[in-house]
Amino acid sequence: MDHFLYRNGQLHAEDVNLATIADSVGTPFYCYSAATLTRHYTLFREALDPLPNLICYAVKSNSNLAVLKLLGDLGAGMDVVSIGEYLRARAAGVPGARIVFSGVGKTRDEMRAALEGGIRQFNVESDPEMEALSQVAESMGVRAPITLRVNPDVDARTHEKISTGRKEDKFGVPISRAREIYARAARLPGLKVIGVDMHIGSQLTDLAPFESAYLKMADLVRALRQDGHVIERLDLGGGLGIPYTRANDAPPLPMDYGAMVKRVLGDLDCEIEIEPGRLISGNAGVLVTEVIYRKQAEEREFLIVDAAMNDLVRPAMYGAHHDIEPLIEPPAGAPMAPVDIVGPICESGDTFAKQRALPFVAAGERIAFRSAGAYGAVMSSEYNSRPLVPEVLVSGDHFAVIRPRPSYEQMLGRDSIPDWL
């Protein structure tokens, strides 16, 4: 469920007409619903209760400070993969005790900064990282709390570029070597082993791969405890998918996921951490854009819009689908016709949808790309020297710009020309 609905023939975000925002900030822009973000976070908390748990929002999915503050104020932890994301979480008021540091390429400087600022745990991904973290922590006179990310060799059955739990993927340590590596970690003076971490992919639409991975995790926990390790915490990663289309084959609900977690892992007496990103922020956002031209080609018609692949790269990068709706509600039974929705960038890849059946939308009218709250603004760029688009947060009947559109002067001012040119 989200809070983007038609009211009196106009698409609204909660109680705010999206056209009102467009008139105020221009197009394109991202709009997020505070009510939807809150609802999705709450669904996960309810799904895992009464197990002790912490929902660590995946900052990479949408890292705007206002979004982080909203979720942090609800009690969310944060899953970060760079010191930049860590600093964002801290700037949003999230204490270090609720931040987990993931990622395969943590540098020694990042490790030191997180230890100085406070950290819940490091999810360690390799032997060399483990050695480096121990050395950094020992030099500071502290012990770094760690889980080891274990690769269970489970196919997540998701897009090739976001599958992370197979043995050929770059993430984690092989489950076949996990006991050996845990034994080494226990001997390192700068580390304190506290748990096990696992993450098999993103946008999963079936619980079976999760269950296969978690069954392996449960067996590993029992074996590690037999080896003398104290395992108090299980980080299950994220990855539960969202419905990008309004079809009947929706992904499992958080409640279904929670029931499976309780059944498979509930007897281990561990605190559960999960790292949802897309499921919290994805359907909490839309990208609104205006049609510049309708172009009739020899074999098809194009809607050329003022948003582009630099603003929302998912369709170009992954072939991703986003439902598209006009801001003005079409009348019931309005005829539909196939069109290609494209941006103004000089690449054929700047295509949002091909032969998408839509009601007639004239030049100057606006459309919204749904399910754009995750991996949208965070993956945007200034390709073709197009300024980053604004981000707007709606709560009830009011809205605020939470990242303004930079002026061309600001964009150009970030470059410098050497004196010798």
Higher pLDDT among residues 162 and 115, named by residue: 115
Q: What pLDDT, in 10s, does the model give residues 214-258?
A: 999 999 999 999 999 999 999 998 878 777 766 656 778 899 999
DSSP state of 377: G
At residue 153, the pLDDT reads 74
* 416: phi then psi, degrees, rounded to nearest 5: -140, 150
Split at pLDDT 50, 70, 90, the class of 37 is very high
pLDDT at residue 157 greater than cutoff 60: no
Q: What is the pLDDT of residue 346?
A: 92
Among 391, 399, 325, smallest CA distance to 359 is for 325
Residues contacting 208, CB < 8 A, separation 6+: none
Confirm whether 56 is a catalytic residue: no
Q: What is the pLDDT of residues 109-147, one digit of tens each?
A: 999 999 999 999 999 999 999 999 999 999 999 999 999
For the entire predicted model, the pTM comes to: 0.94
- pLDDT at position 90 over 50: yes
Closest CA to 2 of 289, 330, 243: 243
Which residues neighbour 48 within 8 Å (Cβ) at sequence distance 6 or greater? 55, 258, 261, 262, 272, 274
> pLDDT, tens digit, for every residue of 246-289?
665 677 889 999 999 999 999 999 999 999 999 999 999 999 99
Q: What is the rounded distance in angstroms from the CA atom of residue 295 to the CA atom of residue 330?
A: 21
Q: Which two tokens stand for residue 191?
A: 């580390």
Can you tell me the distance from the alpha carbon of 182 to that of 229, in angstroms, rounded to the nearest whole number?
A: 8
Instruction: Tell me the C-alpha distance between 151 and 166, whole Å.
Output: 7
166-221: pLDDT as tens digits: 445 556 788 889 999 999 999 999 999 999 998 877 677 788 888 988 999 999 99
Report which of residues 84 and 200 the model is more confident about.
84
- Which one, of 391, 417, 299, 305, lies nearest residue 350 by Cα? 305
Distance of CA 80 to the CA centre of its chain: 11
- Burial label for 17, CB within 10 Å (0-12, 13-18, 19+), is middle
Of 31, 56, 270, 346, catalytic: 346
Domains of the chain: 4-31+282-413 (2.40.37.10), 103-274 (3.20.20.10)
Residue 307 has pLDDT above 50, yes or no: yes
* CA nearest neighbour of 194 among 161, 229, 169: 229
**Predicted local confidence at residue 168, as pLDDT:** 54
